[in-house]
Structure 1
């Protein structure tokens, strides 16, 4: 029997009639199999093979993705903003807020019904000093106002937004300072700005936003 490929004929991949198979259990424990493997590793390689591998190894190493944070990006007025995905519980259709007697201003728009449950409606536009009338005209199948339902310390809040981009990922260490032209009311709530594709998204400080929303409902 030729040593070449005997494991395919009388070994584990063949009819298992090899006399060595019973004590060795598997062909990989046989010196014939090991010898064939050794000769395969030591066989000469062609110039074409060398050239192909040399070309692959000369390729620059691709930069690793440094994105370590995910957020849900949305638009208010003309400003694109984002909150951590862990803070967001759902996106709901827009619904009117019912004003509360003797309460309002500073961002508390009222109470809104979201899926049969009541939640305080918080106007981020009022909280951050964003002029919602200064918004570019946008059109498209998925461009419409919605409610962003977020949770902070077990309390749900409904945030009306003009548009939704979706979940984005960014490098927390790659945030840049906001432009000097951004109003101070919004600046204090920003961790920085994330450049994603052709968008510049203001990443909101979840802790500051959360504590401010809790203050509004107390």
Structure 2
């Protein structure tokens, strides 16, 4: 089987057939134990707002959507409420975590060697869905719960009070947002 793609296929994202050796190689990769020997018992979706790398627990995540500009809601000026967005025919309140957490949304820069795209994270908290704009999306990170570190004293105080800890993912230090603390702030932005 031919496993090479032409530049046109790569650009279009066209599927090509893969051979058994390729499948075996990836099966071995995912079968291998973690290097640290500890089980990854938790996961979170990691993203960047400004210069801050943060993560939300994966059970909150509904989906990732392309970034769209919110439509203003007249006479509603809740802290963090940017308006409403239409994603796939559904309307979601758009809440800016940068405003809620006191983060400079204009700070930070793209990581070298990566294309970055602003996205919307669609999340659920107590039967209500929200759209959260993020500057960059790292993806889902799995980690061992006992490896979570306490936040550094130098972290922005607005962010620090919503963190349950910090995890290391390669060269990144990612602040884990506590859903129980952040959820009521999301709901409060609609009042």
Taking structure 2 as the reference length, the TM-score comes to 0.77
Residues of 2 paired with 1:217 and 1:149: CA distance? 16
Higher relative contact order (CA 8 A, sep 6+): 2
CA drift of 1:141 comes to 5.6
Cα 1:102–1:140 change in 2 (3 A) is farther
Corresponding residue number in structure 2 for 1:210: 183
Tell me the SS of whatever aligns to 2:85.
strand
Match of 2:146 among 173, 184, 199: 173
By percentage of residues, which structure has more helix? 1
Change (3 A) 1:101 1:139: farther
Aligned partner of 2:156 in structure 1 is 183
Establish whether residue 85 from structure 1 lines up as the match of residue 58 from structure 2. Answer: yes
Paired residue for 2:74?
A: 101
* Secondary structure of residue in 2 paired with 1:217: coil
Is 1:66 matched up with 2:39? Answer: yes
* 1:179 to partner: Cα distance: 1.8
Over alpha carbons, which structure has the higher Rg?
Answer: 1
In the TM superposition, 1:15-30 aligns within 5 A as none
Which structure carries more strand by proportion?
A: 2
Local SS of the residue matching 1:185: helix
Structure 1 stretch displaced more, 96-105 or 107-116: 96-105
Q: Indicate the residue corresponding to 2:135 in structure 1.
A: 162
- 2:85 and 2:150 map into 1 onto residues whose CA distance is 34
Measured on the aligned residues, the alpha-carbon RMSD in Å equals 1.6
Unaligned runs of 5+ in 2: 1-34
Deviation digits for residues 43-93 of structure 1 (CA, Å, limit 9, x no counterpart): xxxxxxxxxxxxxxxxxxx85223210110000001110001111010000
Matched, 1:126 2:99: yes
- CA pair 113-176 structure 1, distance change in 2 beyond 3 A: same
Structure 1 match to 2:119? 146
| TM-score (ref. length: structure 1) | 0.68
DSSP 3-state at the match of 2:75? coil
